[in-house]
Amino acid sequence: MKSMSSSRKPQINILNGPNLNLLGQREPEIYGTTTLADIKTSCEQKAIELGLSLCFTQTNSEGTMVDEVQAAMKETDGLIINAGAYTHTSIAIHDALKALSIPKIELHLSNVHAREGFRRRSRLAPAVDGLISGFGAHGYELALEAIHRLISS
């Protein structure tokens, strides 16, 4: 964990990957009708409750995701990543996560193990501290609670 002054709130970054900007429209039978904006709002409320500072971003670009993970090395105390489809394909994101010494949680809205076979393999899982999957939009709040516990211990 980064050294924090007593007045600085721990900084948590939530990084969302490809197609998550389409939440609420894309396959609502799998992902629900909650939008990414709705999730951001609930995360901001949960962060206030937990005494955390929050950065919430989304990108469809693998390179930008790598850049964001690397940027987390500077002033971030914990990272929550929903890499979407890059979870199953990106060695580059895996390598960037391995370089981080802060707590990291992989997050998925759906239960990836109950879906297509290719979704059951995460290239990111070996590089993170924990995984939350299958709780829909509520998984983001669970991830914030978990990351708070990791940085507080």
| Active site (catalytic) residues | 31, 108
Structure-derived torsion over alpha carbons of residues 68, 124, 49, 35, reported in degrees to the nearest 10:
80
Long-range pairs, 59-62, Cβ under 8 A, ≥24: 59/15, 59/16, 59/17, 59/18, 60/17, 60/18, 60/19, 60/21, 61/18, 62/18, 62/86, 62/90, 62/92, 62/93
Sequence-distant (≥ 6) Cβ neighbours of residue 139 within 8 angstroms: 107, 108, 109, 132, 133
The C-alpha R_g of the chain, in whole angstroms, comes to: 14
Q: Report d(CA 136, CA 152) in Å as an integer.
A: 25
Q: Report d(CA 94, CA 88) in Å as an integer.
A: 10
